Amino acid sequence: MVIANGKVFKDNAGFDECNVFVSGEKIDRLSEDSAADNEDFLDASGCFVIPGLIDLHFHGAVGEDVCDGTIEGLKRISEYELKNGITSICPAMMTLPEDELIKDIEVGKTFRDGEGKDFSCFAQLLGFNMEGPFISPVKKGAQNEEYIKKADAELAEKFIEAGDGLVKIIGLAPEESPNYESYIDAVKDKVIISLAHTDSDYETAMNAIKHGASHVVHLYNAMTGLTHRAPGVVGAAFDSKKVTCEIICDGIHIAPAAVRIAFNEAGADRMILISDSMRATGLEDGIYSLGGLDVEKKGSLCTLKGTDTIAGSATNLFDCMVNCHKNMGIALEVAIGAATYNPAKVLGVSDNLGSISEGKQADLLVLDKDLKLIHVIKKGKLIY
């Protein structure tokens, strides 16, 4: 296959007018060589060619949630994501009973090793991002307080073992666990420790980062904010040059100015666009379930029923990326990198995914000049 005449987002560095030659599942080369004689020719004239997106924090879509723990649910979610340009996924787990979380992880492993290998239908399951259960009841958001636990290295090991490589990120509210330092020391080389749903002050957050926490779940949301006398978790994230930060750019969770400030303070290479989408995504308004709690969807806004507490989003990652650029003032190249290469780096797969480079997996999207999704290519095959 040759994707010809497009503006190619090359090596995560900017756009270059060239042709992308694909051989099998891989990108063979990027060249201005003529492609007109190739029998598998895709004309991308006037279009952008970018890597497939990677969502490392979302819960579900089209009526399904990963915590339903069913193969059929994972199939429907992965099919929806692929159709919308999200070619690889790392869904998030809610705060649920221990045995239920382990079961859901095991179902994910079964899907990954079985039907999930059909990438003509499904986005590639890279792992799981566990928001709970080691979080704070003060900043629980839409998480179920009944199942919140203190940090427990043995339990974390059970999650890791159940996933056989699938559990990539586990959240932590360090202020809730007196043993958080030893906990981080015990598991940091096996899984990414994120600061998540936490009421931590700046000093405790910085100490957790010093011990090995390296990621922040949905920056600004469900954490202590930045003020001039109490910098909080947000300040700790900005002040730590190696911490990566998730951010939801659905137009609901965060004001555009706050998004721009985050990109300016943390730097484009540390920002990760996520959708945090829940099962109502892709569906009409109504009442839906998230972690056993009722959530009401009204347009793009999802809140816990009867409250004004935001409960996930109803916007997929592709639309978040476009919104980040068009409505929040983030440069297109930066927004694309935050939805492709940066999450690939966090998940440890940037040697194969996340950018358009020779030898990498041919996960590619073709967008028109208005950033409308035209084509999805997964592992060198034209899917849509």
Whole-number Å distance between alpha carbons of 372 and 376:
12
Whole-number Å distance between alpha carbons of 48 and 356:
12
Tokens of 250: 């659905």
Angle between helices 98-113 and 153-163 (to 10 degrees): 20
Which of 199, 276, 319, 363 does the annotation list as catalytic?
Answer: 276
Contact 205, 233 (CB under 8 A): yes
Burial 295-308, CB ≥16 within 10 A → b, else e: bbbeeebbbbeeee
The side-by-side arrangement of strands in the sheet containing 244-248 is: 92-93, 128-130, 167-172, 192-195, 215-216, 244-248, 271-274
Whole-number Å distance between alpha carbons of 338 and 245:
10
Question: Beta partners for 48?
Answer: 7, 367
DSSP string, 239-254: H-TT-EEEEE-SSSSS
Q: Tell me the Ramachandran region of residue 276: left when phi exceeds 0, alpha when psi lies from -120 to 50, beta otherwise.
A: left
Tokens of 130: 């566990």
Half-sphere exposure for 179 (CA within 13 Å, toward CB): 11
Amino acid at 94: M
Please state the length of the chain: 384
Neighbours of 351 (CB within 10 A): 13
Contact 118, 110 (CB under 8 A): no
> Is 276 among the catalytic positions?
yes
DSSP string, 151-183: --HHHHHHHHHHHTT-EEEEEE-GGG-TTHHHH
Rg of the chain over all Cα atoms, to the nearest angstrom: 20
Could you tell me which residues come within 8 angstroms of residue 117 by beta carbon, excluding any fewer than 6 positions away? Answer: none
* Residues with catalytic function: 276
